[in-house]
Structure formats: structure tokens, C-alpha cells
């Protein structure tokens, strides 16, 4: 498969990986290690501002200045420290990407989805989950945190519902063992608060 619609942009560059891929912090800032997985063991390259494209791994184009940001379709949001970014393992998975962090933490974007699908108070609560926190971030981002048991251990799941336009929302979903929930909470808050449109 060729290109995907997730890019990493910043430091004057825009990185467009081949699928299936992983972005991870490089050995020195602001470099990025890009891995393309394959049955042959895959290919890896360390790239950054001014780096030439690496055929079959990553294209490197001119991009915006500033810290590295994820571009997911038409949206741009910060890349939180401590997380690497991977494409779905299954080509049929419609999730754009997964941010995988320490201690089994994971965050992933979905949507945009119609706000009417999220209007019911328990629209995001699955069987076996209970609401442990509801809050509003930056005046208009609804955050719901849920507790549940997974393989006999306490886990947390959180949703950030970020309005985009008049009737849709980008949804970030985060989950982690309960002890690691603060890591997901901090990263999700930062990502949600930094959502913008992709700069030209």
C-alpha cells in the first residue's frame, strides 16, 4: 500500500510515510525515526529538516515551522512527548493512527463524527464502564473519563470531544491501566487543546 493521510509536520518539513509505518523520536532533536514494517523485516530511516526523501519509507516536503505536529486529514494537533505514532496493524482498520506510550497507554483520533451521535449523556459509555469524571476543557471540549476492568485489572478510558465546524466533532480516545491514566490524561488534554486546521 502507498501513502496514508497522516503526516508529521514541523521544523520546516512535512514527513509523509509509507504504510505500515511508525514515527518515533530520533536520536537527536528534531530528527524522527521512520519505520516501514514489512515481511522482510522492514525499512528504517532517520529524517528531519533538510533530509532528502527516502524511497519506499518517507517523502520529505517543505512544511510549517515550530514543533512537530500530527496532521490527520484536515486537522493538525501536537505530537505529545513519550508517544510514538503507528498506523493500524490491520489494513481494514479505519482508525487513522495510534499513539502508543509507556505502560500500555494509547490514544487515537476518530472522525469527524456528527455531534448528534454524541448528544446523549451516556453515548460514549459501553457496558461494564462507569463514568468517573466529566469536565470541559478550553470552554468547548467535553471530556468524559470512564473506569472499567480489563483482564481483572482496573483500567481507564477517556474521550475528548472537540467541536469542528457547526455540527461535527473530532474525537480522541485514550486508554490505560488505572495507574498510568495521568499520562493519557495529560497527553490527551494537550492534543485536544492544540487541534487546528492544517496550515497551507
User: Which pLDDT tens digit goes with each residue over 137-192?
Assistant: 999 999 999 999 999 999 999 999 999 988 999 999 999 999 999 999 999 999 99
Question: Residue 78 in contact with residue 64, Cβ under 8 Å?
Answer: no
Looking at the DSSP assignment, which residues form a beta bridge with residue 163?
Answer: 169
Q: What is the pLDDT of residue 40?
A: 86
The three cell numbers of residue 98 are 495510534
Please name the residues in contact with 132: beta carbons below 8 A apart, sequence gap of 6 or more: 145, 146, 147, 156
* Nearest partner of 18 among 6, 26, 28, judged by Cα: 6
Please name the residues in contact with 191: beta carbons below 8 A apart, sequence gap of 6 or more: 77, 78, 80, 107, 160, 172
Q: What is the mean pLDDT of each run of 10 residues along the chain (200 residues)?
A: 74 95 95 94 92 96 96 95 94 92 97 87 89 95 97 97 92 98 98 89
Q: What is the pTM of this model?
A: 0.93
* Nearest partner of 72 among 36, 108, 46, judged by Cα: 108
- Rounded to a whole number of angstroms, the distance between the first and last alpha carbons of the chain is 26
Amino acid at each position: 500500500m502507498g501513502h496514508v493521510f497522516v503526516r508529521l509536520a514541523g521544523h520546516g518539513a512535512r514527513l509523509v510515510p509509507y504504510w505500515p509505518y511508525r514515527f518515533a523520536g530520533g536520536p537527536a532533536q528534531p530528527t524522527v525515526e521512520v519505520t516501514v514494517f514489512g515481511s522482510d523485516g522492514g525499512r528504517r530511516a532517520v529524517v528531519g529538516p533538510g533530509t532528502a526523501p527516502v524511497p519506499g519509507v518517507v517523502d520529505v516536503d517543505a512544511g510549517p515551522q515550530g514543533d512537530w505536529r500530527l496532521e490527520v486529514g484536515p486537522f493538525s494537533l501536537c505530537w505529545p512527548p513519550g508517544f510514538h505514532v503507528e498506523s493500524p496493524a490491520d489494513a481494514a482498520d479505519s482508525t487513522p493512527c495510534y499513539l502508543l506510550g509507556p505502560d500500555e497507554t494509547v490514544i487515537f483520533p476518530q472522525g469527524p463524527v456528527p455531534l448528534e451521535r454524541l448528544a446523549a449523556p451516556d453515548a460514549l459509555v459501553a457496558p461494564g464502564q462507569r463514568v468517573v469524571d466529566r469536565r470541559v476543557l478550553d470552554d468547548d471540549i467535553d471530556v468524559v473519563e470512564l473506569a472499567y476492568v480489563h483482564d481483572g485489572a482496573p483500567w481507564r478510558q477517556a474521550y475528548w470531544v472537540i467541536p469542528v465546524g457547526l455540527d461535527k466533532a473530532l474525537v480522541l480516545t485514550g486508554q490505560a491501566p488505572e495507574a498510568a491514566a495521568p499520562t493519557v490524561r495529560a497527553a490527551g488534554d494537550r492534543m485536544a487543546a492544540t487541534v487546528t486546521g492544517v496550515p497551507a
